[in-house]
Amino acid sequence: MAQSALQELQQESEAGVEDSWATILWDDPVNLIPYVIYVLQAIFAFPKAKATKLTMQVHNDGKAIVAVGSKDEMVENVSKLHRYGLWATVGRP
């Protein structure tokens, strides 16, 4: 019985990962760092320290995952980021 419960938990965990999507913010040559920080704070209500950390990750690594959730939520996030002129896509975390 204990093994059955463990298998169920593993399946639920795996299903959760399979259903997860990410909002990926990409580096671009147009938008300045302070503006990207501002946008992340405006859209996601991130504290300035978190918005700055993610912005620097984008700047240094070329991209950063800024949110994880359902596909519909991530598509909406990407749409919002596009309205601010940032380059973002939906992908798997």
Q: What is the pLDDT of residues 26-66, one digit of tens each?
A: 999 999 999 999 999 999 999 999 999 999 999 999 999 99
pTM score of the predicted model:
0.80
How high is the pLDDT of residue 16? 52
Portion of the chain with pLDDT greater than 90, in percent: 80
For residue 64, give the nearest of 89, 39, 41 by alpha carbon: 89
CB hemisphere CA count around 22 (13 angstroms): 12
H or E element that contains 11: helix 2-19
Model confidence at 18, pLDDT cuts 50, 70, 90, reads low
Q: Determine the Cα–Cα distance for residues 55 and 40; give it in Å rounded to an integer.
A: 8
Instruction: Look at residue 14 and tell me whether its pLDDT is greater than 70.
Output: no
What is the CATH topology of the domain spanning 20-91?
Ribosomal Protein L30; Chain: A, (3.30.1390)
